Amino acid sequence: MRCTASKWADRLFSDFNDPTDSSSVVALAPERQFTLPIDFYQVLGAETHFLGDGIKRAYEARVRKVPHECYSDEALTGRRQILHSACDTLANPRSRGDYNQGLIEDEAETLMREVPWNKVPGALCLLQEVGEMEVVIQAGQRLLREQLPKSFKRDVMLAMALSYVDISRESMAESSPDIIKSCEALERALQILQEGGGRSLAPDLQEQIEETLEEITPRCILELLALPLDEDHRAKREEGLQGARNILWAVGGGGAVAPLGGFTREEFMNEAFSHMTAAEQVCKRPVLRS
């Protein structure tokens, strides 16, 4: 007999709607749900061949791992409840068999969860933790179109910002680092954090992002200037030209050693000009040489 995701989904997530749970976001309707792809094996960090004890050990290890300190208590409670549901399902042979059968017969349907609305921040926290950056960002963008309570919104924006930071790290870890993508991801992360709470939302993370941007932005600008001279890259190259002006104005004259990603002002200026057309050099030289 076919076992669809809906056959056991209510049981798997029944604890999410526990009326005794005091962590619910009272400003939101408790019956509302939000669809997210949640793989129980993935969120636990478990493999399909793990026995029941292995599933429980994976659960305990994940629960002990502390997410970012700026998440609200509500988000952390939701995270724990998702992990508890995943462990209960996979540690029980019968429910695990139903779950595995669902993965075989209709993986997409099995992984898509109707998560109770007040547990969504916890779900995003967990999805970011296990590397589902694009899922978190796309879900966050949909959520931010709505009027959200402050704590709920801050949790969503923190999960999004951390996902952008992860994208930046992955881009820099490639065999040929994508510095432009890394820089853009960090800029987006910083923008989200500042929109979500000014300097009060994850201030330590904001400081780390700013320090990293200071280090890699000069190289990013040179990469932008080195892009092909065609219409598809015109806007990006303009960003590079503006960035070069901004950096050299900020650093000042003289060619003294400055925080330019390892470049002196003179070295940076020379390499920037090497990527410019003659017209760009004529147009920009008075500014760059000032």
Asked which of 47-61, 84-98, 269-283 is least confident by mean pLDDT, the reply is: 269-283
Give the pLDDT score at 243.
87
Last residue of a domain, one of 177, 201, 225: 225
Q: Which domain holds residue 7?
A: 1-117
Asked which of 41-45, 110-114, 216-220, 274-278 is least confident by mean pLDDT, the reply is: 274-278
Asked which of 56-60, 146-150, 224-228, 269-273 is least confident by mean pLDDT, the reply is: 269-273
Give pLDDT tens digits for 164-204: 999 999 999 999 999 999 999 999 999 999 999 888 999 99
What are the tokens at 155? 């949790």
Tell me if 99 sits within 8 A of 110, measured CB to CB.
yes
277 vs 127, more confident: 127
Give the pLDDT score at 285.
52
Task: State whether 23 and 56 are in the same domain.
Answer: yes
CA–CA dist 246, 218 (Å, integer)? 10
Alpha-carbon distances of 222 from 34, 87, 133, 212, 243, rounded to whole Å: 42, 49, 27, 16, 9
Last residue of a domain, one of 199, 225, 251: 225
Q: Which amino acid is at 279?
A: A
Asked which of 188-202, 247-261, 270-284 is least confident by mean pLDDT, the reply is: 247-261
Task: State whether 181 and 221 are in the same domain.
Answer: yes
Query: Is residue 198 situated within a structural domain?
Result: yes
Three-state DSSP at 22 gives coil
Task: State whether 192 and 176 are in the same domain.
Answer: yes
Task: State whether 90 and 77 are in the same domain.
Answer: yes
Listing DSSP states for 184-226 in one string gives HHHHHHHHHHHHHHTTSSSHHHHHHHHHHHHHHHHHHHHHHHT
Residue 277 pLDDT grade (very low, low, confident, very high; cuts 50, 70, 90): confident
Three-state DSSP at 53 gives helix
Query: Is residue 123 situated within a structural domain?
Result: no
- pLDDT at position 281 over 80: no
- Buried residues in 141-179 as b, exposed as e (16+ CB within 10 A): eebbeeebeebbbbbbbbbbbbbbbbbbebbbeeeeebb
Mean pLDDT of the chain: 85
Alpha helices for the chain (secondary structure H): 5-12, 40-44, 52-64, 73-91, 93-111, 120-129, 133-143, 150-173, 179-197, 203-225, 234-251, 265-274, 278-288
- pLDDT at position 217 over 50: yes
Average pLDDT over residues 88-102: 94
Query: Is residue 125 situated within a structural domain?
Result: no
CA–CA dist 205, 176 (Å, integer)? 26
Give the pLDDT score at 13.
53
User: Based on the structure, what is the number of domains in the chain?
Assistant: 3
Last residue of a domain, one of 225, 258, 279: 225
Residue 257 pLDDT grade (very low, low, confident, very high; cuts 50, 70, 90): very low
Prediction pTM value? 0.84
